[in-house]
Amino acid sequence: MSAEANPVGSRVRSLLVRTPRWVRFAAPVALCGVVLAVSTTSVPTVFAPPKGPPDTLRHTGVALHGPSGLLRTRYLERAVSTRSPREALIAELAARYNITEPLARSIHDAAIAAGVDPELGFRLIRVESVFEAKAIGPGGALGLTQLMPGTARDLDSTVHTVADILEPRTNLRLGFGNLRAMIERYEGDVRLGVLAYNRGERAVDRALKRGADPENGYSIRVLGPRAHGGRLYAGPGLLRP
């Protein structure tokens, strides 16, 4: 067949003539490399990361342990360890009440310092202020734990101003201290202690003296399931030394 009869072949030969020689040699070599890389196991093996601990660790002389030869170091243990019980509880309470973990950590630690079960502390604040540090109640109660100014000053004579009482650390310290005192007054009875926190111990004492139940609905709001993740409070109230 003549070149005129086979125009496609003629165009191919013309293209090959015009293509630089290095391209004509490099293309088949590159194609062979791709085929080898796909079809042979030697290439992945050669370029795979080295097995075993990294050189910087292997040559330190630190002993290996276990059948898999894993390196036991404090750094690696911290890297894969779960949260401590304290941090896990803080995260759970922060999620339950939709607050930040820093705020949850402050409340948790203040409750521990006062000897109050942290969950009870969170419940109290949820009812009192909905976690608003600058909350001012209709009757003049202040801050996270809604302390009355007179009560705050009775608890700490160095507290003088509204700003002093609203300061979150001071407010938590005094509020939880008062809650602890109320529960202790009623010999560990959490319900009565919570009611006394809200109504005052005199009102609770008068009701008990008459043989009446001092309940006004407040303890149900604090200890019941509503607004607390659907859970009834079943804790000890106070932490024992």
Q: Which residues are tagged catalytic? A: 128
3-state secondary structure 74-110: HHHHHHHCCCCHHHHHHHHHHHHHCCCHHHHHHHHHH
CB 122 within 8 A of CB 235: no
List the structure tokens of 5. 């009869």
Residues shown for the chain = 241
List the structure tokens of 88. 């896990």
Q: Could you say which DSSP state residue 143 is in?
A: T
| 65 membership: H or E segment, kind and range | strand 64-65
Name the one residue in this structure whose structure tokens are 């407010």.
Answer: 171
